[in-house]
Amino acid sequence: MTIQVQNLNVWYNRKQALHDVDLTIAPESVTALIGPSGCGKSTFLRALNRMHDEAPGARVQGKVLIDGVDIYARAIKALYVRRHIGMVFQQPNSLPHYSIWENVAIGARINGTARGRALQDIVERSLRGAALWEEVKDRLNTSPAQLSGGQQQRLCIARALALEPGILLMDEPCSALDPASTLQIEELILKLKQHLTVVIVTHNMQQAGRIADTTAFFLQGRLVEVEETTRLFAHPQRKETEDYVAGRFS
């Protein structure tokens, strides 16, 4: 799925969090959003699947075209948008009162997209797709509370994959994890980008360097620079980008 953001402005109550953002995200690639805290990268990510609507006093102006359709058009309902876009959060938020199997199945259950045999297949496929199947296939009926942080995060990825989305949004998915789990998830992302558009917010520039095809640098609610990753880090065009990449502020 292609994402085209045109002239996006986003507010929380009176405070404007994003100013005039224009960005086109190529399909089947990984795009990293980097920038200091409070620069608006998470807000931007949430605007892509209308999760920002849930924030108090949320207001959005501009267009977000996904496969040509403006998701903020009047006729479009947020929940149909979210069904086709997966989201993974910073803290793994597996549902504790459901089993591992039920956690992965819940998206399909809620949306009525599959049941019975088809649902079993989807759950297995998603767990394999998230590189978690081998580790949990013997305990699908147990609570996810037993899993490690990295495993829980992969469970959340499997849960998102179960809806067979075209886009996967990840909001600092590795920041709560240890380096080993982080590496596992980065390898997973590189695999997933073969058939998904991945947009990942990260505060870790090395991570962006490792996995992202394109990197976008945000500062104070504006998109400062977007470029192919190696070029952005090696030859930043703007001074602010250069300062951030060099670690002069964070």
Partner 1 sequence: MSAAAHPFLPPRSAHMLRRRASNLLILALAVAAALFAVAILIYLLLYVIVRGLPFLNVSFFTELPAAFGSSGGGMGEAVQGTLILVGLASIMGIPLGLCTGIYLSEFGRGSFAGAVRFTVMVLTGIPTIIFGLFAWVLIVIPSHGFSGLSGGVALGIIMIPIVASTSEEVLRLVPKEIREASLALGATEARTILSVVLPAALNGIITGIVLAMARIAGETAPLLMTAFGSTFWNADITQPMDALPLRIFVFTNSPYPIQISQAYAGSLVLIALIFIASFAVRWATGGFRRRR
Which residues make up the interface to partner 1 (CB under 8 A)? 49, 51, 54, 79-83, 86-87, 89, 91, 93-99, 101-102, 106-107, 109-111, 141-143, 156, 159-160, 163
Q: Give the residue ranges of DSSP H helices in 19-91.
A: 41-48, 78-83
* Closest distance to partner 1 from the beta carbon of 210 (Å): 25
Cα–Cα distance for residue pair 71/47, rounded to 1 Å? 10
Burial of 106 (0-12, 13-18, 19+ CB in 10 A): middle
Greatest extent of the chain over all pairs of C-alpha atoms, in Å? 56
Cα–Cα distance for residue pair 54/11, rounded to 1 Å? 12
- Comparing CB distances to partner 1, the nearer of 81 and 219 is 81
- Comparing CB distances to partner 1, the nearer of 106 and 183 is 106
- Comparing CB distances to partner 1, the nearer of 11 and 98 is 98
Cα–Cα distance for residue pair 145/14, rounded to 1 Å? 39
* Closest distance to partner 1 from the beta carbon of 82 (Å): 4
- Comparing CB distances to partner 1, the nearer of 56 and 247 is 56
* Closest distance to partner 1 from the beta carbon of 141 (Å): 6
- Comparing CB distances to partner 1, the nearer of 156 and 224 is 156
Buried b (16+ CB within 10 A) or exposed e, 52-85: beeeeebebebbbbbeeeebbeeeeeeeebbbbb
* Closest distance to partner 1 from the beta carbon of 194 (Å): 23
* Closest distance to partner 1 from the beta carbon of 59 (Å): 17
